[in-house]
Chains A and B, each alone.
Chain A
Amino acid sequence: SYELTQPPSVSVSPGQTASITCSGDKLGDKYACWYQQKPGQSPELVIYQHIKRPSGIPERFSGSKSGDTATLTISGTQAMDEADYYCQAWDSNTAVFGGGTKLTVL
């Protein structure tokens, strides 16, 4: 079955840039999206089709793709960005999530 790999944790200082990667076989041929989930809350879509940002999502969130790796970048990270982040893609009629990355802002 298809798998997406994310680092379990990423740490960043306030105001700095955080990058979270997501890799998978032939991910470059698929559309990756990213979700943010804060403790006790539902996930929220922050990036889709690798680079698009839904309305209402701050411009400091951006996405990119290089080969079979998708990257979520948060510029000027704020304390409110501390959350779990999940990548997701669609493969063989199945939605697949990465294992999630806990972003710590310290």
Chain B
Amino acid sequence: EVQLVESGGGLVQPGGSLRLSCAASGFTFSTYGMNWVRQAPGKGLEWVSYISSSSRTIFYADSVKGRFTISRDNAKNSLYLQMNSLRDEDTAAYYCARDLGAVAGTVILDYWGQSTLVTVSS
């Protein structure tokens, strides 16, 4: 059974940093691209970042470019999101999600974790 378990969320002041983790199990992690997606309270879904299976290809949403860094450790079956210079508008539930990989040049999110909540507030 595919499982994605996020951790690392919490309360942080504006300008602060936080590192999110996502532990994957139930599939061959090293062969799938992975993503972070967030959802502000009461709002819709917003894609944050993508990393390919080998880490060679990385994409970011404009809203986080230069502040967030996605990475992975295939030996540990883990995905990470380093978040720096946090702003109030980064407050959200953060999901890690697997890319189905069915079609080259597109991303389809076939499994999602339960999310970890990040609150940016003074």
Q: Do B47 and A48 touch across chains, with their CB atoms under 8 A apart?
A: no
B-side binding surface: helix, strand, loop or mixed?
Answer: loop
Known: A35-B45, A35-B109, A94-B61. 12 other contacts (CB 8 A): A42-B113, A42-B115, A43-B95, A43-B109, A43-B112, A45-B110, A49-B108, A84-B44, A88-B109, A90-B105, A100-B44, A100-B45
Counting contact residues on chain B (CB < 8 A from A), the size range is 20 to 34
CB distance from A14 to the nearest CB of B (A): 26
Q: By the criterion of a CB under 8 Å from any partner CB, how many residues of chain A are at the interface? A: 27
CB distance from B50 to the nearest CB of A (A): 7
Is B75 in contact with chain A by the CB < 8 A criterion? Answer: no
CB distance from A83 to the nearest CB of B (A): 13
Closest to A98 in B: B44
Compute how far the CA of A98 lies from the CA of B102 in the bound complex, rounded to whole angstroms. Answer: 21
Q: Do B44 and A42 touch across chains, with their CB atoms under 8 A apart?
A: no
- A100: chain B residues at CB < 8 Å are 44-45
Is B28 in contact with chain A by the CB < 8 A criterion? Answer: no
A-side binding surface: helix, strand, loop or mixed?
Answer: strand
- A96: chain B residues at CB < 8 Å are 47
Is B46 in contact with chain A by the CB < 8 A criterion? Answer: yes
Interface residues of B in 41-81 (CB under 8 A from A): 44-47, 50, 59, 61-62
- A98: chain B residues at CB < 8 Å are 44
CB distance from A62 to the nearest CB of B (A): 17
A-B contact pairs, 30 of them (CB 8 A): A30-B106, A31-B103, A31-B106, A31-B108, A33-B108, A43-B112, A44-B112, A45-B100, A45-B110, A49-B103, A49-B108, A54-B110, A84-B44, A88-B47, A89-B106, A90-B106, A90-B107, A93-B59, A94-B47, A94-B59, A95-B35, A95-B37, A95-B47, A95-B50, A95-B109, A96-B47, A97-B45, A97-B47, A98-B44, A99-B44
Compute how far the CA of A42 lies from the CA of B104 in the bound complex, rounded to whole angstroms. Answer: 25
- B102: chain A residues at CB < 8 Å are 48-49, 52
- A95: chain B residues at CB < 8 Å are 35, 37, 47, 50, 107, 109
